[in-house]
Amino acid sequence: MSLSTERLEAMLLGMRSLFEASYGELVKDAKWRPLVLEIKSEAAAERYNWLGSVPAMHEWVDEREIRHLLGEEYTILNKNYSAALEVDRNDLEDDKLGLLAPRIRQLAERAAAFPNKLVFSLLDAGDTAKTFDGTAFFKTTRKIGESANINNKLTGAGVTADNIRTDIAAAVVAMAKYQDDRGDARGRGEVRAAERAETLESHGLGETGLGFNQQTFNSMEVPFNCVSRRCLWILIIV
């Protein structure tokens, strides 16, 4: 069967639709989503004017208190990424799209998983890679505006069930005390674990062994996603 322009366009549309549908379903609950702020970019670079935290609520007694915003900013250069499959013309002419569909879904899986690699590789480099203030992302000393010292590099006690319980509790308490650039305590801490290797289940220390799936410390809820022997614990203020 000959391959007309109209038929080729229809096939490409079908393949694109299959890719986008598969990709959309896969990224819906992707692990990287809670860790990033997604912003649609339509330029080669995006300049972000970080204005700092908004003021906390307080009683309005007399005149309204107006607080100035901070003027921090940073620029992110966009990069292009691609993955491609070569399709034989004979396969298109023979209308073998059914055989191509699994490969298209695999491409969608690759594309959906790729942000995990980018985000977690960046976090892996958090001890050395510089962030907005010119210093490492994970460090023991940092002040932002009027905040007290922020230490987001806590030392764990070691990988045992009891130690992990202790470390999670300590992390939650520490994050609850973090202050924003106004000096106001954030009040709530959340710990997310990004799975990086074998889980403790392989060592007989699964969720049952740890004694919790969702644990509460002083009314602060801690979602427990996974624990790993080589797990990267990410502390996130929410």
Tens-place pLDDT, residues 114-141: 998 888 888 888 888 888 788 888 888 8
Question: DSSP letter string over 70-126?
Answer: P-EEEEEE-----------HHHHHTT-HHHHHHHHHHHHHHHHHHHHHHHHHHHHGG
Please indicate whether residue 22 or residue 203 has the higher confidence score (pLDDT): 22
Look at the block and give the residue holding tokens 């954030």.
186
Non-local CB neighbours of 162 within 8 Å, separated by 6+ positions: none
CB 172 within 8 A of CB 163: no
Q: What tokens does 67 get?
A: 């607080």
User: By C-alpha distance, which of 89, 85, 105 is closest to 7?
Assistant: 89
The pLDDT, as a whole number, for residue 55 is 67
pTM higher than the cut 0.75: no
Could you tell me if residue 169 is left (phi over 0), alpha (psi between -120 and 50 degrees) or otherwise beta?
Answer: alpha
| Rounded-to-integer distance, Cα 234 and Cα 152, Å | 9
